């Protein structure tokens, strides 16, 4: 059967989801999207939707990228551009309010939402004075009970730059590598737009070729322990060199984390990138 691959750009509030991946009897982003596509396209079976990043329970996304393969006869004789326009409109009307469809488009040849990606960027938001946290930011910001030193946070982030085995910060999967390359990691304290004075809001941005399961939140937990003075940089460096995950690092809360961007190569390099990524992961 001839299939047509579509790319779907979307965002979601992860608060009420068990994560991206479907789990029996539980509410996931993947399940909601697959049901919506099956319903609006009137398919006999459930389509399989894959994503660039399998976000954990409670983690948000501003720029998730997904793909779905639809049978060509689902489009019929309708010009594909009109079909995609109609599909986008109907998905927006069917899906719950905590999932937002940004764009649906015909995927270029060789496109794979997961394996063609060059990098992913996540952001993490912390408020180190809970008295200053606005009520409407409580779903996407960690309330932290101790003052944080941004200089120390950035020194901690620098330890993770480059290629490392992040086994100490990941939940291992059978036959899967935990070697990743961090391309950028930095923290900044936001300033008041009117006065220019520093606020209690701190944001981290981290970009890597890929991330292991719970890796970002574990890295954040380690950096926060250094940033508030409970641990030093030597401890974090030694922990990074461990080959197994231990109890010393607290995994930061999911609500502060958001998938912010996924980078892809030019269309003519998508297939080669997917093949290279698969070989590395195996």
Domains of the chain as residue ranges with CATH? 3-106 (3.30.70.580), 119-277 (3.30.70.660)
Residues 9, 13, 44, 56: which is the catalytic one?
A: 56
Residue 49: CB atoms within 10 Å: 22
Q: pLDDT value at position 173?
A: 78
Q: pLDDT value at position 139?
A: 93
Helix (H, G, I), strand (E, B) or coil at 274: helix
Which whole number is the average pLDDT over 187-201? 92
Beta strands in the chain, from DSSP E residues, in sequence order: 3-12, 49-51, 60-71, 99-106, 119-127, 142-143, 162-165, 179-191, 198-208, 257-263
In DSSP terms, which residues pair with 181 in a beta bridge?
163
pLDDT reading at 14 higher than 90 = yes
Q: pLDDT value at position 192?
A: 87
2 confidence band (pLDDT: 50, 70, 90): confident
25 confidence band (pLDDT: 50, 70, 90): very high
pLDDT in tens, 204-257: 999 999 999 899 999 999 999 999 999 999 999 999 999 888 888 899 999 999
Max CA pair span of the chain: 64
Q: What pTM was estimated for this model as a whole?
A: 0.93
Would residue 56 show up in a list of annotated catalytic residues for this protein? yes
DSSP state of 15: G
Which whole number is the average pLDDT over 21-42? 96
pLDDT in tens, 46-93: 899 999 999 999 999 999 999 999 998 888 767 889 999 999 999 999
Residue 189: CB atoms within 10 Å: 16
pLDDT reading at 277 higher than 70 = yes
Q: pLDDT value at position 43?
A: 92
282 confidence band (pLDDT: 50, 70, 90): low
90 CB-near residues (< 8 Å, 6+ apart): 40
Q: pLDDT value at position 244?
A: 86
Give the pair of three-digit tokens for residue 91: 């998905």
């Amino acid at each position: 059967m001839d299939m047509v691959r579509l790319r779907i750009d979307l965002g979601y509030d992860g608060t009420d989801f068990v994560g991206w991946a479907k789990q029996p009897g539980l509410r996931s982003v993947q399940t909601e999207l697959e049901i919506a596509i099956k319903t609006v396209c009137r398919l006999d079976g459930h389509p399989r939707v894959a994503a660039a990043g399998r976000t954990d329970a409670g983690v948000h996304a501003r720029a998730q990228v997904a793909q779905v393969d639809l049978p060509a006869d689902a489009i019929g004789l309708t010009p594909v551009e009109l079909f995609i326009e109609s599909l986008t409109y109907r998905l927006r009307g069917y899906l719950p309010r905590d999932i937002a469809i940004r764009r649906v488009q015909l995927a270029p040849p060789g496109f794979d939402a997961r394996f063609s990606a060059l990098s992913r960027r996540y952001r993490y938001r912390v408020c180190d004075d809970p008295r200053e946290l606005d009520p409407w930011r409580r779903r996407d910001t960690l309330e932290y009970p101790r003052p944080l030193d941004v200089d120390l946070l950035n020194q901690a982030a620098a330890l993770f730059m480059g290629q490392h085995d992040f086994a100490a910060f990941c939940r291992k999967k059978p036959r899967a590598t935990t070697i990743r390359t961090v391309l950028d990691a930095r923290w900044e304290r936001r300033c008041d737009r009117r006065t220019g004075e520093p606020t209690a809001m701190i944001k981290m941005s981290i970009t890597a070729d890929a991330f292991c399961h719970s890796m970002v939140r574990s890295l954040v937990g380690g950096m926060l322990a250094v940033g508030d003075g409970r641990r030093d940089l030597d401890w974090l460096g030694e922990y990074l060199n461990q080959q197994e995950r231990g109890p010393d690092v607290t995994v930061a809360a999911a609500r502060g984390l958001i998938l912010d961007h996924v980078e892809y190569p030019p269309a003519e390099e998508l297939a080669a990138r997917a093949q290279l990524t698969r070989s590395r992961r195996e």
